[in-house]
């Protein structure tokens, strides 16, 4: 594999990990904007804008966009998170020129008023659909409980009220402010020619507007609240809890991934053997989420409502033991093997590498090869894990619950 990078005169960063042995190529644009970059009055606009990208521009209609991608046999889509909006496509190498042209067209849609009003109805239906999913609701609620005064606590989809009140002009202004080259990285992974990539990107992206929007990445205050959403018809209680964990650029972020596997993986973890295998709970997981300037330990419990109190005690007894005694060398080695396997298996597909390329550049401003990631994971020691736990102990600072219970 060969890594290449360049910066266009307008400031757009272009990176590529090219592999002549690959049989496909993946291309994506990662835009450093999401729900944490919104103000309250435009909550949900990043996700709404992602939808509008597929409505076409002055050259291509909405039908054209989808038809051309389909004719290429492309696997294409877009997604929005708290911090990044990404547009991507995986195609056969001979179709890269057309795919890149279409991807760049997505970034600057016409944002026509009639399309806006039609898509607003789709977004409102989507919000209603997700409101019926208890785990999704629990996640939104626990983020609000943990970041009550910080934009990370905002809902990615927005609310029915915020989306209903959003105007096309407000979306156009948000797009103008955030869809600038300083907020973007264009990434390529798989089979391709670097010279051709540079020519294509210059032709399609050389006129993108310069600039970069600002984001406050100082550590946010933590709320420590508890929120309960009563759903009497639900058979299960869904509980999520958050506690501080390393931010995305922290040197112990790989150790945090390993701890999540050791303590809270969905099979063969401490929580699995303590709660799920004996039948006390249907689900008991611990995950690590990293953001600009902060991170979270995310605990999830799914069980009958009458078992919630006892199961939460079981979970936090596990956490207390881990915080006190750390992890064993055998547990660490098994987790390293699991994460190493995940890294390698994901890297065997260009689309898998694309996500790692874009994410590393957005958060770290650097390229990391598969080998570097593997060396880092395998080099983590039991002492590193103890250092992680000393700085970011497992805990439950903020809580949200969705289900039959009126309170916790």
**CATH code at 10?**
3.30.830.10
Q: How high is the mean pLDDT of the chain?
A: 97
Q: Residue 66: which H helix or E strand, with range?
A: helix 62-71
Quickly count: other Cβ atoms within 10 Å of residue 376's Cβ.
15
Q: For residues 247 and 188, state if they share a domain.
A: no
Q: For residues 244 and 189, state if they share a domain.
A: no
Q: For residues 167 and 311, state if they share a domain.
A: no
Give pLDDT, residue 122.
97
> b/e map of 230-262 (b: 16 or more CB within 10 Å)?
ebeeeebbbbbbbbbbbbbebebbbbbbbbbbb
Tell me how far apart the alpha carbons of residues 53 and 110 are, in angstroms, rounded to a whole number.
Answer: 8
Tell me how far apart the alpha carbons of residues 377 and 342 are, in angstroms, rounded to a whole number.
Answer: 11
- pTM, two decimal places: 0.95
Q: For residues 293 and 201, state if they share a domain.
A: no
Quick check: is 211 in a domain?
Answer: no
Q: For residues 243 and 127, state if they share a domain.
A: no
Q: For residues 148 and 244, state if they share a domain.
A: no
Q: Exposed, middle or buried, 390 (CB in 10 Å: 0-12/13-18/19+)?
A: exposed
Reported confidence tier of residue 86, pLDDT bands at 50, 70, 90 = very high
Quick check: is 324 in a domain?
Answer: yes
Quick check: is 210 in a domain?
Answer: no
Q: For residues 275 and 155, state if they share a domain.
A: no
Tell me how far apart the alpha carbons of residues 401 and 408 are, in angstroms, rounded to a whole number.
Answer: 8
Record the tokens describing residue 25, joined without a space: 């190529």
Tell me how far apart the alpha carbons of residues 129 and 75 are, in angstroms, rounded to a whole number.
Answer: 25
Give pLDDT, residue 223.
92
Contact between 241 and 264 under an 8 Å Cβ cutoff? The reply is no
Q: In what order do the strands lie in the sheet with 184-190?
A: 2-7, 13-18, 184-190, 25-31, 85-91, 75-80
Give pLDDT, residue 378.
98
Q: For residues 177 and 286, state if they share a domain.
A: no
Range(s) of the domain holding residue 33? 2-205
Q: For residues 169 and 32, state if they share a domain.
A: yes
Reported confidence tier of residue 319, pLDDT bands at 50, 70, 90 = very high
Q: For residues 151 and 6, state if they share a domain.
A: yes
Average pLDDT over residues 207-225: 94
Average pLDDT over residues 325-347: 97
Quickly count: other Cβ atoms within 10 Å of residue 314's Cβ.
19
Record the tokens describing residue 292, joined without a space: 């600009």
Q: Which residue among 205, 239, 266 closes a domain?
A: 205
Give pLDDT, residue 60.
95
Residue with tokens 């279409």: 102
Q: For residues 201 and 238, state if they share a domain.
A: no
Q: How many domains does one find in the chain?
A: 2
Q: At 177, is the secondary structure helix, strand, or coil?
A: helix
E strand map for 8-80: 13-18, 25-31, 75-80
Quick check: is 251 in a domain?
Answer: yes
The gap between the terminal CA atoms of the chain, to the nearest Å, is 53
Query: Which residue, 60, 166, 156, 161, is CA-closest to 116?
Result: 166
Record the tokens describing residue 358, joined without a space: 């874009």
Give the tens place of pLDDT for each residue, 258-306: 999 999 999 999 999 999 999 999 999 999 999 999 999 999 999 999 9
């Amino acid at each position: 594999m060969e890594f290449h990078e360049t910066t266009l005169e307008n400031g757009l960063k272009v990176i590529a990990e090219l592999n002549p042995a690959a049989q496909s190529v993946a291309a994506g644009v990662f835009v450093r904007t999401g729900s944490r970059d919104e103000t309250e009055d435009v909550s949900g606009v990043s996700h709404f804008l992602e939808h509008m990208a597929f409505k076409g521009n002055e050259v291509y209609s909405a039908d054209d966009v989808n038809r051309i991608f389909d004719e290429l046999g492309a696997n294409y889509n877009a997604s929005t998170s708290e911090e990044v909006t990404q547009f991507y496509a995986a195609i056969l190498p001979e179709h890269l020129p057309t795919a890149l042209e279409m991807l760049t067209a997505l970034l600057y849609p016409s944002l026509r008023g009639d399309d806006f009003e039609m898509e607003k109805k789709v977004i409102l239906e989507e919000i209603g659909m997700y409101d019926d999913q208890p785990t999704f609701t629990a996640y939104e609620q626990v983020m609000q409980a943990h970041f009550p005064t910080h934009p990370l606590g905002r809902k990615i989809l927005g609310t029915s009220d915020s989306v209903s009140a959003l105007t096309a002009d407000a979306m156009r202004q948000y797009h103008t402010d955030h869809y600038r080259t300083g907020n973007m990285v264009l990434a390529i992974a798989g089979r391709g020619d670097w010279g051709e990539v540079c020519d294509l990107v210059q032709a399609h992206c050389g006129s993108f507007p310069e600039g970069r929007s600002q984001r406050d990445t100082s550590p946010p205050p933590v709320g420590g609240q508890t929120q309960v959403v009563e759903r009497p018809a639900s058979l299960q209680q869904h509980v999520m809890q958050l506690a501080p964990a390393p931010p995305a650029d922290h040197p112990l972020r790989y150790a945090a991934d390993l701890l999540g596997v050791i303590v809270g993986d969905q099979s063969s973890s401490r929580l699995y053997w303590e709660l799920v295998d004996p039948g006390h709970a249907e689900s008991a997981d611990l995950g690590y989420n990293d953001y600009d300037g902060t991170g979270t330990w995310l605990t999830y419990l799914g069980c009958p409502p009458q078992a919630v109190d006892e199961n939460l005690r079981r979970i936090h007894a596990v956490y207390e033991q881990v915080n006190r005694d750390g992890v064993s060398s055998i547990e660490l080695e098994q987790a390293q093997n699991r994460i190493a396997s995940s890294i390698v298996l994901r890297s065997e597909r260009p689309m898998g590498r694309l996500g790692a390329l874009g994410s590393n550049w957005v958060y770290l401003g650097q390229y990391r090869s598969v080998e570097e990631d593997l060396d880092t994971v395998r080099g983590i020691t039991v002492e590193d894990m103890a250092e992680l736990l000393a700085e970011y102990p497992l805990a439950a600072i903020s809580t949200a619950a969705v289900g039959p219970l009126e309170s916790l």
